Structure 1
Amino acid sequence: MPLTREQIAQRIAQELKDGFYVNLGIGMPTLVANYVPPGIDIILQSENGLLGIGPWPVEGQEDPDLINAGKETVTALKGSAFFDSALSFGMIRGGHIDMAVLGAMEVSEQGDLANWTIPGKMMKGPGGAMDLAVGAKRIYVAMEHANKEGQPKILKKCALPITGLKCVHHIVTDHAFLDVTPEGLVLRELAPGVTVEQVQRITEPKLKVAPDVREMKV
């Protein structure tokens, strides 16, 4: 069975390492914060100027002035820091973010990312995605493997406007875990009950199947 959005986030959370500075993109990536493994201490950064994001606020105790980049209300941990966007983007562009999790509308086999606009749709702007794409040390993409029409979102070449070139390192979808390598996309893990053939059917590029391909643990 394909994974749910929560299970995709749970699988990505397994990649977190103790002491990581992490930026979570808008939408599905924000769910990763709910599944940080026990014993792992990470520091969440938001490009609108907050380092040290805490758990989601209890209903009725939200502070409308305390929000993340997606305008969702959050909490701040003891010792958190608040700063302006210039300093925030300095952290990102300076290579101080160990891992960023971003959503995507398309990813190419070379790791190109398209996630900021769809032609003809209302454009809200790229936010911090372009800076994170080139500034974060590791980029994980959280996405559905195919669109609502069943067409691949992992392509030989992106058709939508590019956010960043050759910036994606790993793709985690409802069907599979893929590594982006110079030799092409490597299929590392499969969602429970999903076959290699099913993943290839909704992936435009030819996949390289890892010798030790295994079931995703969520």
Structure 2
Amino acid sequence: MGLGIDFRNTIARRAAEEITNGMVVNLGIGIPSLVPNHLPKDTMVMFHAENGITGMGPSPEKGMEDENLCNAGGFPVTLNQGGSYCDSAISFGMIRRGRVDITILGSLQVSQQGDLANWIVPGKKVPGMGGAMELAQKARKVIVLMNHCDKAGNPKIMTTCTLPLTSKSCVDMIITELAVFRVTPEGLLLTELFPPYDLQEVVNKTECEFRISEVVRKISY
């Protein structure tokens, strides 16, 4: 079962808590694209797109789109005051030099060691890896936003990923509609729950074992 719009926005709102003033933030498509909607209005953030924009603004109003201004997913965006354009080589240079503070990505699977598999399901047509490999390795913090299970009900948080990897040992935090995990050297640590879901439901829908924080925050917005 897919996520409803409220769950998607709840996940995005929790991810927005990780962003602070002055950061350069890269957003993947899907749930991550909702994160800017949940930032306080006085938060000064430069949103980066690997196709060559730093300082992306919100989606334009209908009829006000600029056909030459889009994000890496091809969707129309605006440019905030102080934003800039560059070519893809410079944009990827920013990523590879560690200039991106946080990247917030979707994923198909994440392992208990923080391995990321988010670019292909074998046998299905995909546009390519994109910037995910560089972002996963070089962003200072990698946050994954995703459904806890796939459409067939199979866990997406795994002992070992079964899909081709994008990058190994790169994920710092996982946020699903059920819970928030931090990836530690000892494995996954559950730190937060989204009511009405409880701990047992998370255990039932997670393939790998995980530790539980001494204090578990119950998120309520």
Q: Deviations over 1:19-55 (max 9, x none)?
A: 0100001111111111112432111000000011011
Per-residue deviation at 1:217? Answer: 3.4
Equivalences for 1:100-139 in 2 at 5 Å?
100-139=103-142
Can you give the 5+ residue segments of structure 2 that lack an aligned partner in the other structure? none
- Match among 81, 86, 103 for residue 83 of structure 1: 86
Per-residue deviation at 1:144? Answer: 0.3
The residue number in structure 2 matching 1:173 is 176
SS in structure 2 at match of 1:4 = helix
Contact kept, 8 Å, 2:46 with 2:83, in 1: the verdict is no
Contact kept, 8 Å, 1:113 with 1:164, in 2: the verdict is yes
TM-score normalised per structure 2: 0.96
TM-score normalised per structure 1: 0.97
Query: Counterpart of 2:22 in structure 1: which amino acid?
Result: G
Q: Deviations over 1:162-212 (max 9, x none)?
A: 001000000000100000001111010001111111001010111211010
Query: Counterpart of 1:75 in structure 2: which amino acid?
Result: T
Can you give the 5+ residue segments of structure 1 that lack an aligned partner in the other structure? none
Is residue 144 from structure 1 mapped to residue 147 from structure 2 by the alignment?
yes
Q: Deviations over 1:39-75 (max 9, x none)?
A: 3211100000001101110111111110000000000
Q: Distance in 1 between matches of 2:93 and 2:108?
A: 26
Per-residue deviation at 1:98? Answer: 0.3
Aligned length: 218
Is residue 199 from structure 1 mapped to residue 202 from structure 2 by the alignment?
yes
Q: Distance in 1 between matches of 2:196 and 2:7?
A: 14
Contact kept, 8 Å, 1:22 with 1:43, in 2: the verdict is yes
Q: Distance in 2 between matches of 1:164 and 1:63?
A: 34
Per-residue deviation at 1:79? Answer: 2.0
Q: Give the aligned CA root-mean-square deviation in angstroms.
A: 1.3
